[in-house]
Amino acid sequence: MRLSFILNGKRKVMETEPDRRLLDLLRKDLHMTGTKEGCAEGECGACTVIINGEAVHSCLVLACQLEGKEVLTIEGLEENGELSAIQRIFVEETAIQCGYCTTGMIMSAKALLMHNPNPTEKEIRNALSGNICRCSGYTQIIRAVKRTAAEGGC
Amino acid sequence: MESLLPKTYEEIPGCLRQMTEKSRFIGGGTDLIIKMRMGLAAPDAICYLGYVRELKEIRREEEWLSIGSCATMTEIEQDPEVREHYPALMDAAADVGSLQIRNNGTIGGNIGNASPAGDLLPVLYLYDAVLEIMGPDGVRRAGIDEILAGPGRLNLACNEAILRILLPPSTGYTSFVKLGSRKKVTISRIGVALRIEMDGDYVKEMKMMVGAIGIKPVRLEKAEEFIKGRTLNEQNILDIAAILSDYIREHVAKEFDRDYKVFASRGVVMDAFHRLRRD
């Protein structure tokens, strides 16, 4: 099928199969490997991207569901070749250990801050409850999201 | 693999005509994609109805609420009509999986997947939901229990689609509480849906649907009879919990966590009654 959608702000037209997962479209077809595959069944959140402003699992969306939609991935966050505020603050707060969960974590946090620029800790924890990190105790991650909000950027 | 992607309401019947016994509808895909990857589903065609604007809408139709089958859990949870008039549906939608799942999974998909642990099902029974179904030759309506056949099975032809879920006016106080094995991102082990109408301090009528303890939601008529004309004091609520425990002990097979459910049902029932107050 011919698929036309918006990827990180740019229109993308490609020939693909209707049952191609968005995750495979990104990683295998477009070689955008920032998005990670974890459990492949919607439990771990590693593959989270933002579609039409909402955090979703790219492992649980097919190409045939994407026509005309706006997809935002970790690659779309950088600004003029620099890390965006949320990425920089994740680094500065050591909210990254092995790094595998990080892109999903950042995309879930980004979606939260897009809807709610001043979340409470409870709201942050709720928004990230579908993202599993097996290194940290989440403390640094929560701190990074709080600081991003406090500094008014995401 | 074929894809059938109607863009407008008028294009749906044409797509339905092309569906075979092996074709599948996809709502969000949060269940179907996993099944396809496990080899449990190998559709020859996938029909996605999410581009049809009308099927995303949640709106009042006179005294009823009409929910498009492609409305997501998040859209349902946040809808002002749902929150005001069908709070048990809000409870159930808000407790499905993770935020990513709720942003993607749909009410039509939750019905179509027909899991015994389907989060919305006990609540749709509680509110006597009616489904609007389209086939190649027209539209019909049927109650949720006529359509739900058992685990993963519906009484629908392969070319029939669920378009809308219609909820009659709701009376009394309603609530839903789900017990999982952890707080978030969990599969329902027991789901209790309640509707209560009071006459002063006394219960005029109660309806109680319990999910995840049978192949379809179970109506606990014995508890409904018991509480009629009584007050909602703690002892009476504990007696209702005991009726549920007894039911589970008798009807649930040991390998489906019977002993755990017998024990845990007490807390779920108490939580469901407390939630009726919404304070």
Q: Hey, where are the domains in chain B?
A: 2-49+56-167, 173-275
CA B92 to chain centre: 8
Domain B2-49+56-167, CATH number (from 3.90.105.10, 3.30.750.80, 3.30.465.10, 1.10.10.350): 3.30.465.10
Q: How far is B52 from chain A (nearest CA, A)?
A: 12
**Which residues, 6+ apart, have CB-to-CB distance to B123 below 8 Å?**
B86, B88, B89, B91, B92, B176, B193, B209
Q: pLDDT tens digits for chain B (279 residues)?
A: 899 999 999 999 999 999 999 999 999 999 999 999 999 999 999 999 999 999 999 999 999 999 999 999 999 999 999 999 999 999 999 999 899 999 999 999 999 999 888 899 999 999 999 999 999 889 999 999 999 999 999 999 999 999 999 999 999 999 999 987 666 666 668 999 999 999 999 999 999 999 989 899 999 999 999 999 999 999 999 999 999 999 999 998 888 888 888 889 999 999 999 999 876
Among the partner-chain residues A17, A21, A59, the one whose CB lies closest to the CB of B1 is A17
Min Cα distance B239 → chain A (Å) is 34
- Supply the ipTM of this predicted assembly: 0.95
Q: Does domain B173-275 have CATH number 1.10.3720.10?
A: no
Angstrom distance (rounded) from CA B171 to CA B88: 12
* Number of Cβ within a 10 Å radius of residue B17: 12
Measure CB to CB from residue A42 to each of B2, B5, B100 and give the nearest one: B100
Judged against a pLDDT cut of 80, whether residue A154 lies above it is answered with no
Domains and CATH numbers, chain A: 2-73 (3.10.20.30), 85-150 (1.10.150.120)
B6: exposed, middle or buried (C-beta count within 10 Å: 0-12, 13-18, 19+)?
A: buried
8 A C-beta contact, residue B194 and residue B272: yes
pLDDT at A93 over 80: yes
Q: What is the pLDDT of residue B186?
A: 67
Residues of A in contact with B36 (CB under 8 A): 19
- Whether A56 and B185 lie within 8 Å, measured CB to CB: no
User: Which of A152, A39, A17, A141 lies closest to A91 in space, CA to CA?
Assistant: A141
Dist CA B195 CA B174 (whole Å): 4
Answer yes or no: are the C-beta atoms of A61 and B27 closer than 8 Å: no
Cβ–Cβ of B99/A108 closer than 8 Å? Answer: yes
Give me B136's structure tokens. Answer: 């190649």
pLDDT at residue B259, rounded to an integer: 87
Chain A partners of B5 at a C-beta cutoff of 8 Å? 64, 67
| pLDDT in the model for residue A48 | 98
Give B103's contacts in chain A (Cβ within 8 Å). Answer: 51, 54-56
Cβ contact (<8 Å) for A45 and B100?
A: yes
Closest CA to B51 of B10, B2, B19: B10
User: Which of A18, A40, A43 is closest, CB to CB, to B46?
Assistant: A18
Mutate to test the interface with A, among B18, B98, B106 (most CBs of A within 10 A): B98
Residue in A with minimal Cα distance to B33: A60
Whether chain A has a CB inside 8 Å of the CB on B136: the answer is: no
